Structure formats: C-alpha cells, structure tokens
Amino acid sequence: MPEAALPAVRGMGVGSHGVSVDLEFVTEHAGRPASVLTRRDVARALLAVPSGQALVSIPDLRREMLAAGNPLSPAFWESAKSALTGIESGVATVGDVQRWLESTGTEPILITRGYFVWPEEDERGPVAAELYDRLVAHLEEHVESGEIDPDRLVAGDHDARLVYEEIQERWLGTALPDGRVPGDAVNDELDEGLFASWDEEEAYALSELRRVLADLPEPPFPGVDLSEAVRRLRKTLAEPGYPGTVLRACAGFDDEALPEEDTELWLAVAAGIASPVSDLEDDDEHRFWDLDGELSQEDSALAALCTIHYADWLAAVIELARRGPGVLASPERIARFVAESEDIDVDMDDPEDIATTETLFASVTPLWQRLGIVDAQDVLTPLGWWGLPKALERAWSSQE
C-alpha cells in the first residue's frame, strides 16, 4: 500500500502511560547495556510509549546516554524529535515512522527492492524471528565498520540508502553457513503456515458440508442426464480455447487420456471447478505480471475460481442442495445465498462484498452450464442437485 494511502499515526506507542523513558527503561526494552545501545534500540523504546511522553523524555534520556559514554549523534536526536512531533500532531504516516526506524541503519527494510516482504512482528514464525534478528546483527556490524552511515541515511542521502538496501538484498540472497538462504527460508515458512491454514479451513468446511448433507434426502441418480452431459463434456474438453482449456486445468487433465467412466470424468471436472488442480499451460509464464495488459478469458476464469473462499462454496452448495432442482443459481442469487447463509459466519453487509461474490461466481456458472449442473437460464438441474454436493466433497477430500 502506498505511504500516501496510510492513515496518520497519533500516539503510536503501546506502552504504559506511567512508564518513564529513561536509560533504565531503554536498556530493559533493548535487553542490552547502555554502552552498546544502538539508534534502533533507542528509537524502538521511544515508540513503545505514547508519543507525547516520549517527546518530553528526550532531553533527559540524551543526557543519560552521554553520561554512559554512548551519546549517539545530534542528527539522531533531531530526527527523533521530528518523528515524534509528527506522530503527536497526527501528520506522520506509518510509512514515515518506518522510514525513520530504517534511518537508524539497523532496522530491516519491510519491503525490499526485490519485493521480499518481512512478516509483521507479531506474525513471524520461529524461522522469520531468528533470521530477522540475524539481519539486525549483520547490519550492526556494517554500521560499526562505517559501511552504513546512519547520519547520511537520516539526512536522506540517496547513495547511503542504496548501500543500506544492497547490503540487505545481498544478505537475504546469500546462503548462511548452515545452507539456508534467508529470503527463501522465510518465504518457505510463510508458505507452510498458509498451506496449514488452508488445510484447516478446508477440513472444517468439509465437516460442515457432510454434517448438513447427512440431514438431507439423497437425490436420485440422473443416469440419462449424466450420460448426455458427459457426451457434451468430452467434446468440449477436446476443443481448443475457452472453456475446454479451463475445465482441463481445473480437473488436472494435461496430456493424459480422459477417464473412461462417465461418473468419474464428470465428478473430476466438477470438483476441479471448486478446487482447480493445475494452471493453464502457457509458454508466457510472466503474463500475470503485465500490469498494463488484460487477462484472457481463460486466465480471468481460473483466477476467479482460485479466489472464491471455502465458506462461499459451502454456503452456495448447501443452499442449492436444500432447495433442489428448479432453483435459480445465477451469480446474483448465489451471492445472496452466501450473504444470507446461516451455515457460515460471514459479514457481507457491505454491497461491495456481495458484488464481489457475484463477480467471482460469474466465472463459475458458465462452466456449470457445460457440465449440465445448471441450464442455459442458470437454473439448477436434477444432475446438478445430485452431483454438485458430491463434487464439492470430492474437492475437499483430496488430502484425506
């Protein structure tokens, strides 16, 4: 998010109003003695209490640091006064405060030029926390050697900033003695956490789906409708372009032969719409990074399918299963089902939320038509009533 879009920060600190920002407080906050306190240590301690309280503490704290033989520099103290004044007056942005912290020379950049992003402090796992601290120590070594000049950083010196950034980029991409590349290790930990969260959501959604379906009557098997739908589906899957390419990607059908059994083929494709197995085959792997270009119909459809939340699928399919054949299953109606669902805990009072859900399902219903789940008027068919819950259960049971 651009800094200009960030809200103004006022009284940013979270410390107790009764705490005095003296040398004892700073040393306890930093966990090291006064003689080795860094600018970053002092800055973070000042930000740990309300800004007005930190401001009035600066003169005494500065004198205590001088007496301890670690005076820091006049440029730092002036920058502290300026930053805290901006916070107290409500004109400083979160970006302004982060930039001031970075000017200490030992605060890691949250978003690097190479687009590496450090997790927020309260969201860092053990690996990220360890490597973040290692980088801080690495930067301290470069400040000590003079390669990083905090006074030039706080003055906005362009060349000093480049050195500061390049040191971090180099460290993030260089293997440690234990073989780990810091940037990759942090991202791997984030991915593991994200996948674990998705698995947890999926498992919960599956249990809720089965709980509700257990109380509903089992729809009759529409054998004739299934055979006719699969006949059309096989033809669609053999055709180039949309929607055949999207349906193949959803089901994970690459170059291998399609399943011979009709039910297996139909359920694999229907399940893939709710949980796409693979991406489109495309030699242009950078097509999503062309910010000035437009996504193709195929890419837009797959992107929408991958964006729909488990809760939205759950609410939509449960409501369709309850109402049965003949119910309208248009994107507008599905968005309303999700918004009004009693089976999921979701806040969709904002019309924009409903509009977003409608837009996402606008990529679903044309694919459902190709499978005979809904007809040309987006009305749920007997085949859709029978197969849609089974397809969703299949999609979410893949890890069992």
Tell me how far apart the alpha carbons of residues 157 and 147 are, in angstroms, rounded to a whole number.
14
Structure tokens at 206: 């599956």
Label each residue of 19-61 as H, E or C.
CCCCHHHHHHHHCCCHHHCCHHHHHHHHHCCCHHHHHHHHHHH
The pLDDT value recorded for residue 191 is 84
Residue 278: Cβ within 10 Å count: 14
Tell me how far apart the alpha carbons of residues 180 and 257 are, in angstroms, rounded to a whole number.
41
Residue count of the chain, please give it. 400
Residue 114 dihedral angles phi and psi, to the nearest 5°: -85, 10
pTM exceeds 0.85 for this model: no
The pLDDT value recorded for residue 290 is 43
Residue 375 dihedral angles phi and psi, to the nearest 5°: -90, -170
pLDDT per 10-residue tile (average), the chain, 400 residues: 36 49 95 96 96 95 97 97 96 94 95 89 92 97 97 96 96 96 94 80 91 94 97 94 93 86 97 84 42 70 91 95 97 94 73 89 96 97 97 83
DSSP string, 142-157: HHHHTSS-HHHHHTT-
Checking phi first, is residue 379 left (phi over 0); if not, alpha (psi -120 to 50) or beta? beta
The pLDDT value recorded for residue 28 is 96
Distances (CA, A) of 293 to 115, 287, 290, 359: 21, 8, 5, 20
CB-CB contact of 5 with 38 (8 Å) = no
Residue 272: Cβ within 10 Å count: 24
Tell me how far apart the alpha carbons of residues 25 and 18 are, in angstroms, rounded to a whole number.
12
Distances (CA, A) of 228 to 52, 219, 232, 234, 268: 74, 18, 7, 10, 16
Does 243 sit behind a cis peptide bond, omega within 30 degrees of 0 on the bond before it?
yes
Structure tokens at 375: 């007809």
CB-CB contact of 272 with 244 (8 Å) = no
